[in-house]
Amino acid sequence: MLPKDAVTEFAGLYLKNFGVQLTSEEAEERANRVFNFFKTIIRPVEENNKLVEEVPGQESEAERKNKTYGDKKKSKKS
């Protein structure tokens, strides 16, 4: 559940962007839905980043690309 200040801010932004004045109950419900939606979307990204950082010895995508491009450059020079 979001703090009252956040719900009030959400109601103001909703009015500004959509021209609809929400009741406090509507604002609370919609603000929590938006918050939970973004929390759901962002959570897997955070978990994946932590997972990559926690696995010792695992190469980053940039390191893998660098090796791949480095190998191609060497073969072109030969």
pLDDT at 71: 55
Residues 27 and 14: beta-carbon distance below 8 Å: yes
* pLDDT per residue as tens digits for the range 32-76: 999 999 998 887 655 566 654 555 566 666 666 666 565 555 555
Residues 35 and 1: beta-carbon distance below 8 Å: no
pLDDT at 46: 58
pTM: 0.55
Residues 24 and 5: beta-carbon distance below 8 Å: no
pLDDT at 14: 98
Residues 37 and 43: beta-carbon distance below 8 Å: no
* pLDDT per residue as tens digits for the range 1-21: 899 999 999 999 999 999 999
